[in-house]
Structure 1
C-alpha cells in the first residue's frame, strides 16, 4: 500500500508569495488608473482685457428732446366724461376747456346747498330782529336777563348756521366748476388716458400736457463722462430731423444717483434758442464742451462682450482666470453702460487680466481651467 505524501511547506509558501505579489500588482495598477483619471484643466474661451475707453471716444451721446415741464390734466372730482374737446397732438392755450364731466349731480348738489343757505339766511334775519327787540327791552328792564341770554344765543347760532351754509354753497359751486377741465398752461397734448363715456375718479389723468416754452434734451451719462456733464457746462446739440443745424445747450440738472439698472446718470440740458421746428421726441446727439475721450482717459474703462456678463446676486460680475494657478475667480465689477453687444466696466478689473467670454453659466469658482482664444475673434470685437 502506497503511503500518501504530505504537502511540502515550500510549496505553500510560494503560493502565498504569489498571492501577495498579485495583490501588489493590482494595487499598483489601480493607483496608476487613478492618477491617469485625474481631470485635465477645462478649456474656456478667455482673453486678456485692456483699458481702452472705446465707447466713450465717440464725439457725442444720444439724447431726446422733451418739454422742460410736463403735467397730467385731471378732474378734481369724480364723474362721467361727456365730452373731450382736444386730441393727441393738439396745441392748447392757457385756460382752454379740454374736457367736460356730466354736471347733473353737481348742479343738484349746488341747488340743495343754495336752498339751505336761503333757509339759514331767513332764520338769521328773524333771530336778528328778535335780538334787537330783546336788547331794547332789556335796556329798559322790561324782560328778564335770562330771556335776553336765550335770544343772544339763538342769534349767535343762527349766524353760525348761515356761515356754514355759505361755505357749503361755495364748495358746491366749486364742485360744479370742477366738472370742466381746463388747461392750466399753454402747451401740446402728448398723451390721452381716458375716453368719452368713461367714469373717472378724482385725480385720474385724462391728458398729459407738455408746456410750451423751455425745451430740454435728456441723455444718459456714464460714470467716466460725468465731469463733462457737470451742471452749468455748455454743450452743442444736433438733431437727426434737422441736418446741418447745431444748437447750443447748457446742463441744467444732473441726477444725484445712478440708475440701478443701466448705472448711468440722467442729464437734462436746456436747449437755447430752440425754434418752432424743434419737435418733442426728436432724437439728438449731445456733444459736451469737454471732449468725452478726455473724460474717459481719467478712468480705466474696459469694453467687454455681453456674453461675459455674470451676476453675483443682483450685482454684475465676470469670471477672471487667475494667472498664478489658472483657477477661476468671480469678480464683481461696476458697469457704467450697456450696449446691444457690449457693456462698459469702469471698476473691478486690472489691465491685462484674462476674462472668460463664453459659457459663464457653466463654470464654477476655484475650477482649474485652460484659457483658449475664441475660434472667431471678430465675434467678440467691441
Structure 2
C-alpha cells in the first residue's frame, strides 16, 4: 500500500508545479514613450535673421586724390550735409585760380573786341574808309571773344565744383555702417570710401530653406522677435524673395519690411521670424506610434499609473514626413508608445523610462 501512495503523491506534486509555472505573470516590458500635447496652431518657422536697412548707399569721391580727413566712424549718426571725409584740395585750388584768371582775360578780350566792333560800325555808317568785310571781321572777333568768355566761365564752374568734390558729405540722415579707406590713402574717382544706411526704413532679413519656400503663406504678417529680448516684437510682411538658392546652404534670402518697429529694433540686431496660423485641435505623434489595420489607426496608451498599456483607436487628420496628427482618441498629457508597437498585448505590464522622447 505504501508503494502505491508514493508514486501518486509524486504525480500530484509534479502537476502542481506545472500549474504554478503556467500561471506565472508575463515579464514586465520596457516601453519608449512620448507625452502628447494639444496643438491648436501651426508654426511656420522660426527662422533666425538680422535687422538690416532697406536703403544703403556706398559713397565715394567724384575725383581722385589723397584722403587728409576722416570725420566720422562706424556707428555714428550723421545728418544730411555732414562732412564725412576730405581730400587734399591743393590741385583743385590751383585749378580754380587759373580758371578765374582765364575768365578775367576773356572778359578783357570781349571788352576790347566789342569796342573795336563799335568803332568799325560807326566809320562804316559814315561812309568812311571801312569796307563791309572789315566790319564783318570786327563782328566775328567780338563773337569769338564772347565764345571764349563762355568757355572760361564753364571752366571756372568746373573748377569750383571739383574743389567741392574734394569734400565728401552725407546726402541724407543716416548711420555709418562701414569704412573702406583710411587717411593718407590715395583713392581713384568712384572708389567706395564709406557706407551709409537709412535707419528709418528697416527690414528683417532671413534665409529660409528652399524646400520650405513653397509652404510659406502668401500675403500674411510674420511675427519678428528680438532674440535677446523675446518680449519685444514687431510685425513684418514679405517684400522680396531671392530668385535663386544659395549653392552651399540651399537657402533663399527673404527680406521682410518691418511695420512700425519699436526703437529696440536696431540695425544689426539678431531676430527670429515665425508665423502662426490656427488649426483644428490635434495631437502630433511620431509615425512609429501608429498601428494600422484595415484602414483603422490605433496607438498604445500607457495607463495613468504607468504599469500597463492598452490599445486605443484614433482618427488621423493629417500626415507629414515622420509625423501624424491625431484628431480624436487622445488626451493631452497621455503617454503613447513610439517603438515596438506591434509587439504589445492588451493590458501588458510595462516599465517606463526615466525620460520621454
Tell me the TM-score normalized by structure 1: 0.58
**Pick aligned residue for 2:186 from 189, 199, 209:** 199
CA contact 1:232–1:252 (8 Å) conserved in 2: no
Pairwise CA distance, 1:230: 6.9
Cα distance in 1 for partners of 2:199, 2:249 equals: 31
**Pick aligned residue for 1:254 from 234, 238, 241:** 241
Query: Paired residue for 1:168?
Result: 155
Distance 1:184 1:108, change over 3 A: same
Q: How many residues align?
A: 238
| Rg comparison, structure with higher value | 2
Query: Paired residue for 2:200?
Result: 213
CA contact 1:231–1:252 (8 Å) conserved in 2: no
**Pick aligned residue for 1:140 from 111, 126, 133:** 126
**Pick aligned residue for 2:82 from 96, 108, 117:** 96
Query: Paired residue for 2:98?
Result: 112
Pairwise CA distance, 1:187: 1.1
Cα distance in 2 for partners of 1:211, 1:98 equals: 15
**Pick aligned residue for 2:211 from 215, 221, 224:** 224
3-state SS of paired residue (1:59): strand
Query: Paired residue for 2:116?
Result: 130
Does residue 189 of the first structure (1) align with residue 172 of the second (2)? no
CA contact 2:176–2:194 (8 Å) conserved in 1: yes
**Pick aligned residue for 1:273 from 240, 260, 266:** 260
Does residue 62 of the first structure (1) align with residue 52 of the second (2)? no
Query: Paired residue for 1:77?
Result: 63
Cα distance in 2 for partners of 1:190, 1:229 equals: 32
CA contact 1:228–1:290 (8 Å) conserved in 2: no
- Cα deviation code 1:240-286 (max 9, x no counterpart): 12221221011112223333443332211111112332221111111
Pairwise CA distance, 1:157: 0.9
Pairwise CA distance, 1:229: 4.8
Query: Paired residue for 2:312?
Result: none
Gaps in structure 2 of 5+ consecutive residues: 1-41, 279-320, 322-357
CA contact 2:44–2:216 (8 Å) conserved in 1: no
CA contact 2:44–2:276 (8 Å) conserved in 1: no
Greater RCO structure (CA 8 Å; 6+ sep): 2
Distance 1:151 1:229, change over 3 A: farther
Cα distance in 2 for partners of 1:284, 1:91 equals: 23
- Cα deviation code 1:95-131 (max 9, x no counterpart): 1011111111110110011101110111011111222
Cα distance in 2 for partners of 1:159, 1:260 equals: 64
- RMSD across aligned C-alpha pairs, in angstroms? 2.3
Runs of 4+ with >4 A deviation: 227-232
Once the two structures are overlaid, the 10-residue window that deviates more, 181-190 or 262-271, is 262-271
3-state SS of paired residue (2:206): strand
CA contact 2:43–2:277 (8 Å) conserved in 1: no
Distance 1:156 1:76, change over 3 A: same
Distance 1:93 1:282, change over 3 A: same
- Cα deviation code 1:347-369 (max 9, x no counterpart): xxxx9xxxxxxxxxxxxxxxxxx
Tell me the TM-score normalized by structure 2: 0.62
Pairwise CA distance, 1:238: 0.7
Cα distance in 2 for partners of 1:229, 1:75 equals: 43
Cα distance in 1 for partners of 2:43, 2:235 equals: 21
CA contact 2:202–2:258 (8 Å) conserved in 1: yes
CA contact 1:230–1:254 (8 Å) conserved in 2: no
